[in-house]
Amino acid sequence: MLLGAHESIAGGVHKSIERGKQATCDTIQIFNKSNSQWRAAKLKSDDVDQFFLLQEQLGVTVATSHTSYLINIASPDETLQEKSLLSLKEEMERCNILKIPNLVMHPGSHVGSGEEEGMNRIGKNINRLFSELPNNKVTLLLECTAGQGTNLGYSFEQIAHMIDLVEDKKFIGVCLDTCHIFSAGYELRDSKGYSQTIKSFDNIIGLKRLRIIHMNDSKKPFAERKDRHEHIGQGYIGLEGFRNIVNDSRLRDIPMILETPKGDDLAEDIENLKVLRDLVKKK
């Protein structure tokens, strides 16, 4: 089992590996550039070399990157679509350079233009993205969302439909966020509800598409469609929900990444990872 957290790249992408080690991570998620800017400076070769070297020396892998929050390929605004696609392409290229296998993306918001139209734009733009990256080796992961506002991807059916719209499915997958799906109305808190949720995911999307799990408790009650992350066991999902996940043999090889609140000393990451590891049943 690979447990980890999202770690900062402040000071260079290689610094995320050191932070991951400090936080007791097996693996980490990063932004591969500033998450609040459209474009980024070119990666420095020394930083890239250190990025690879530290992973080997410290035994911390990078499971995935996460896209900038600015990106919205579902937008009806053509200018925003173009900026989003250009930024997404750049992030995919950076993942290829850094040999990061996955890139997580929130599918996007239809901004009042309608869900079907928004999903069609997502499919169209992903197809264009892949056509412009013929040597791509990175899997783009659509993240399940909580369904706030006009955000798409709050149901397994929507995620499956967007995947169906992608012509070349070799590099398309899914990131499941526990807080998001709980907030969207998928039960995790007891074994019966959890089993039904995973069965539904497998039937509608397929567990073979699941590449990353974001491990976040929820500050908001069930099915409120609010995206508010909480420390493991301190929110409305509770410890039993996470016990179900970490002891599910079908998910054993899927990296599980924290996106919970924390300070610079990473003490919260260390504590949350300890809580998750303590939930794993001893053989």
Q: Tell me how far apart the alpha carbons of residues 150 and 129 are, in angstroms, rounded to a whole number.
A: 23
What are the strands, taking DSSP E only, across 169-209?
A: 172-177
Q: Tell me how far apart the alpha carbons of residues 10 and 101 are, in angstroms, rounded to a whole number.
A: 21
pLDDT band of 282, cuts 50, 70, 90: confident
Q: Tell me how far apart the alpha carbons of residues 220 and 96 are, in angstroms, rounded to a whole number.
A: 37
> What pLDDT is recorded for position 217?
99
Q: Which of 214, 200, 110 is nearest to 162 (CA)?
A: 110
The answer to whether 273 touches 283, Cβ cutoff 8 Å, is no
The answer to whether 61 touches 98, Cβ cutoff 8 Å, is no
> What pLDDT is recorded for position 36?
87
Q: Tell me how far apart the alpha carbons of residues 101 and 69 are, in angstroms, rounded to a whole number.
A: 20
The tens digit of pLDDT for each residue in 232-252 reads 999 999 999 999 999 999 999
The tens digit of pLDDT for each residue in 81-135 reads 999 999 999 999 999 999 999 999 999 999 999 999 999 999 999 999 999 999 9
Name residues whose C-beta falls within 8 Å of residue 82's C-beta, 6 or more positions apart in sequence: none
Tokens 């053509």 correspond to: 78
Mean pLDDT estimate for the chain = 98
The structure's pTM equals 0.97
The tens digit of pLDDT for each residue in 209-218 reads 999 999 999 9
Give domain 3-279's CATH architecture: Alpha-Beta Barrel (3.20)
Q: Tell me how far apart the alpha carbons of residues 128 and 166 are, in angstroms, rounded to a whole number.
A: 10
Q: Tell me how far apart the alpha carbons of residues 277 and 264 are, in angstroms, rounded to a whole number.
A: 22
Q: Tell me how far apart the alpha carbons of residues 22 and 234 are, in angstroms, rounded to a whole number.
A: 23
The answer to whether 178 touches 146, Cβ cutoff 8 Å, is no
pLDDT band of 283, cuts 50, 70, 90: low
Q: Tell me how far apart the alpha carbons of residues 263 and 277 are, in angstroms, rounded to a whole number.
A: 21
